[in-house]
Structure 1
């Protein structure tokens, strides 16, 4: 389906060790994590909380397993903090990723986010006012320019529990930002969980999509999250997310559209689960086999 060498396949460490819930996977080591990723057939990863920050040490560990860094999460606070604070942290993060050979920088706006709060996920979702939208868009344009200095791209991560979660909000952000400076991380799971059609964003903004997260959702758990007014972290604990091929979303049209449009870049499996309930290697293999069968890569 995909032309040879256009896409790379990776997997996020969040199925082994969870950054937001450190108790999930606390027993799993960095070495186990990247070894099982490689064993399952993936060649890339994003950076987790147990990864060494020394670039030489990290590069050596990955090269032994024929792995590389695709990107890493960066929390911006453009709607709540002075821009200079986010700018300084972003430059440090950018330079680390540049040294690791990454081409994209994942940015999520965490100003007013309820992602880590014990509040109902859907009822308490933040909604930005006009000034906050302007601060976000303007700040992202400036960060995008800083990324461009290193020939890198800023990819914005729409996310549950934040001010940019829905299709409407993604559309607005894309309209307000410079298409040459701010790009999009396309995450199937967050759109599907939000109640949106992931294909709509894919069709509308394909030209801005420079990074892809392949995340699936267990429909029964997602229904409980709404009915019982659970928080985002409670949803994760309950197993709302899973790998492609194990949830309610059909990835076939997504792979078809990405291949037809000759998408170039990383596709990363990402499914934050409790590793004591969902063995990370087992689920990595489920995902890898599903992608091979469905996408032909």
Structure 2
């Protein structure tokens, strides 16, 4: 298994007011010390903006780059997402980060609410996904669509609409799929050929049910501990790894236990403990 980290596991997030933001120096050092050898980029401003400086920064911690999460508005006929994505490509190419992880952003901050999408919006969204997938291929990159709570592609029917109406591969995020009402293990078994990137999360299903029903907002559930270290929640992580391995998947598995922090953790404490627990669990299921 090729296992990478993600800054969101340390509470580093693009959403304003999400919580305390740990410095890149500490996050990258704790990734390295945990035995991880690669990371996703994290939000704008987390790593150096200049591509060459970003390479130097990651090299200083012995880390490679696998890709980055890119929220982009896809459903608005008056908005062309291509120029904004093109502006990011140098940072991917310079660092060798091969995967663009798109989320169908609503156009507003946060993931607690989202609008309804009409047929015209869906047609635009699907067409833009194929445009971005083709753009990535032209640059030797892989574009994926990340179903995500609070975006335009969240629920099971929306995931299947993307699979049926677009050729773009998926980022199989095991947590967001479960919260949105999709069994990620069943999806991995049914569509392994559409999976080009994996975000491994484990989730407390009772909290997921409360988010799905609208009883609790997504951000509040994350802050309350909805995400668990791998093997301690209700996602069939082992089944997913087996299904993808049997289908020949050789991409990255990115550890993501989204966190909201109230303050700076003491040295050696905090999110890194959950990362280490997840890595230990993965050693028991690794093929």
SS, match of residue 191 in structure 2 = helix
SS, match of residue 283 in structure 2 = helix
How far residue 109 of structure 1 moved from its aligned partner, in angstroms, is 0.8
The structure-2 alpha-carbon separation of the partners of 1:111 and 1:21, relative to structure 1 and needing over 3 Å to count, comes to closer
Length, aligned pairs only: 279
Task: After superposition, give the CA deviation of every residue in 1:81-138 in whole Å (9 maximum; x if it has no partner).
Answer: 5343x11101011232112111111111113678444x5xxxxx54422111110111
How far residue 189 of structure 1 moved from its aligned partner, in angstroms, is 0.5
Q: Take 1:219 and 1:74, find their aligned partners in 2: how far apart are those partners?
A: 27
**Structure-2-length-normalised TM-score:** 0.89
Contact 2:204 2:228 in 1 (8 A): yes
The structure-2 alpha-carbon separation of the partners of 1:114 and 1:230, relative to structure 1 and needing over 3 Å to count, comes to farther
SS, match of residue 87 in structure 2 = helix
Contact 2:41 2:65 in 1 (8 A): yes
Structure 2 residue 76 is matched with structure 1 residue 80: yes
Structure 2 residue 221 is matched with structure 1 residue 235: yes
Q: Take 1:225 and 1:145, find their aligned partners in 2: how far apart are those partners?
A: 34
Task: After superposition, give the CA deviation of every residue in 1:48-83 in whole Å (9 maximum; x if it has no partner).
Answer: 232111222221222233211111111221212534
- RMSD over aligned CA atoms reads 2.2
1:96 aligned residue: 91
Task: After superposition, give the CA deviation of every residue in 1:148-200 in whole Å (9 maximum; x if it has no partner).
Answer: 111111100111122211232111112111x3xx2110011011122321122
The answer to which of 62-71 and 151-160 deviates more is 62-71
How far residue 42 of structure 1 moved from its aligned partner, in angstroms, is 1.3
Structure 2 residue 15 is matched with structure 1 residue 9: no
Residue in structure 2 matching 1:198, options 170, 179, 184: 184
Unaligned runs of 5+ in 1: 1-6, 120-124
2:56 aligned residue: 60
Contact 2:230 2:237 in 1 (8 A): yes
1:33 aligned residue: 27
Q: Take 1:73 and 1:148, find their aligned partners in 2: how far apart are those partners?
A: 17
Q: Take 2:176 and 2:165, find their aligned partners in 1: how far apart are those partners?
A: 21
Q: Take 2:141 and 2:150, find their aligned partners in 1: how far apart are those partners?
A: 27
How far residue 226 of structure 1 moved from its aligned partner, in angstroms, is 5.2
Q: Take 2:143 and 2:214, find their aligned partners in 1: how far apart are those partners?
A: 36
Q: Take 1:201 and 1:126, find their aligned partners in 2: how far apart are those partners?
A: 25
1:140 aligned residue: 129
Unaligned runs of 5+ in 2: none
**Structure-1-length-normalised TM-score:** 0.86
Contact 2:189 2:244 in 1 (8 A): no
Residue in structure 2 matching 1:152, options 141, 144, 147: 141
